[in-house]
């Protein structure tokens, strides 16, 4: 009898667990269909568009314009996630748009590279070879020496690793873009070892970037990591592109100044967007604070003048009373002198 009861209890528990499992599976399927699949699709489409941009446009232009993704995220968050975009955030968005427009106007013309053979010649150029060697050495020192000691306390450690490795990843993307264009044109790129080297380099660089960027985001505030990473990463990519593709050689002084001014404007906009996002500031609050200040100043002036008037009025009243009581004038003047000296102090 006891065994039958035990078996009955197990069967009920199994039925209950299977019911819970069915509900869990239904919830998971709903989550996958409604959230995860659209997320993967949008992320994949965004990365594909980013890859195409780096393949067909100068990196000096594409990388700074990545600030627009931060801008779009901030605007969409205010609508879909009910996050409030304060006055600093709106000014930051405006500055980012102005800086991006300035950079598009003064963007450099990229040196045309039409084949993997030309890309190979660029990669073995002494200037880029020295730059890539220094980048690898700096990354290894930060990963194995500086990171374990100061990575938990200094925000620049992990961000530096992501930024310098990101410069090499952009170079790999440019090379793979050329390989894809050759494949579309009917050329055989599968047997070219450079295509596979670039692919493996891209996978390694992107994996390292994601790893250390996630570490930085886990330890430090996102409002600090995002603008600092943007500045460091963009600077590294601009330096790498200038050395590898020599995009700045054919630019005039006005285009150089315009490009740098646009980049600095974007930096200021990103800083305003993230550094003050937790402060509740709007045009309405500014108007209220200004009205409060306007009320406070006249009130303070009115109180000061009123108290002075009362003091002088009391003094004149006391003088009249003293004269009526027949006190001598010298005592009245002495008392008034003491009163005036107290007023001066």
In tens, the pLDDT along 186-221 reads: 888 888 899 899 999 999 998 999 899 899 988 887
Widest CA span of the chain, in angstroms?
123
In angstroms, the CA 55 to CA 61 distance is 12
Among the residue ranges 110-114, 119-123, 332-336, the one predicted with the least confidence is 332-336
CA angle 152–155–157, rounded 5-degree value:
80
pLDDT, residue 282, reads 66
Reported as a single tens digit per residue, the pLDDT across 260-319 is 898 888 888 888 877 776 677 666 666 666 666 666 655 555 554 444 444 444 544 545
pLDDT, residue 279, reads 72
| Helical (H) or strand (E) element with 19 | helix 2-31
Higher pLDDT, 28 or 102: 102
Q: Which letter does DSSP use for residue 249 in this model? A: T
Domain boundaries, the chain: 55-284, 287-344
Percent of the chain with pLDDT strictly greater than 90: 15
Cα distances (angstroms) measured from residue 160 to each of 144, 153, 247: 13, 14, 24
- Residues whose CB is less than 8 angstroms from the CB of residue 136 and which lie 6 or more positions away in sequence, other chains included: 168
Contact criterion met (CB below 8 Å) for 60 and 242: yes
Enter the pTM of the model: 0.66
- The dihedral through the CA atoms of 213, 217, 218, 220 has a sign that is positive
């Amino acid at each position: 009898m006891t065994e039958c009861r035990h078996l009955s209890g197990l069967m009920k528990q199994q039925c209950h667990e299977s019911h819970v499992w069915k509900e869990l599976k239904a919830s998971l399927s709903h989550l996958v269909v409604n959230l995860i699949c659209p997320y993967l699709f949008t992320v994949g489409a965004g990365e594909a568009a980013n890859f195409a941009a780096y393949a067909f446009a100068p990196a000096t232009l594409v990388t700074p314009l990545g600030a627009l993704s931060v801008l779009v995220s901030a605007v969409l968050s205010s609508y879909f996630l009910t996050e409030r975009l304060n006055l600093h955030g709106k000014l930051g968005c405006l500055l980012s748009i102005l800086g991006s427009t300035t950079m598009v106007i003064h963007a450099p013309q990229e040196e045309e590279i039409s084949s993997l053979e030309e890309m190979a010649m660029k990669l073995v150029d002494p200037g880029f070879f020295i730059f890539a060697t220094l980048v690898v050495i700096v990354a290894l020192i930060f990963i194995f020496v500086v990171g374990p000691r100061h990575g938990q306390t200094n925000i620049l450690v992990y961000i530096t690793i992501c930024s310098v490795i990101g410069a090499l990843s952009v170079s790999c993307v440019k090379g793979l873009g050329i390989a894809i264009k050759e494949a579309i044109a009917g050329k055989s790129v599968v047997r070219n070892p450079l295509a596979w080297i670039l692919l493996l380099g891209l996978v390694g660089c992107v994996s390292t970037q994601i790893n250390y960027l996630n570490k930085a985001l886990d330890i430090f505030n996102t409002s600090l990591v995002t603008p600092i990473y943007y500045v460091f990463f963009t600077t590294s990519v601009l330096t790498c592109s200038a050395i590898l593709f020599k995009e700045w050689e054919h630019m005039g002084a006005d285009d150089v100044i315009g490009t740098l001014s646009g980049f600095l404007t974007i930096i200021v906009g990103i800083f305003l967007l993230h550094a003050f996002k937790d402060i509740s500031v709007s045009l309405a609050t500014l108007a209220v604070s200004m009205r409060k200040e306007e009320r406070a100043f006249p009130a303070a002036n009115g109180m000061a003048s009123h108290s002075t008037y009362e003091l002088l009025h009391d003094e004149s009243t006391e003088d009249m009373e003293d004269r009526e009581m027949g006190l001598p004038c010298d005592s009245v003047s002495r008392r008034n002198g003491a009163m005036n000296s107290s007023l001066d102090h």
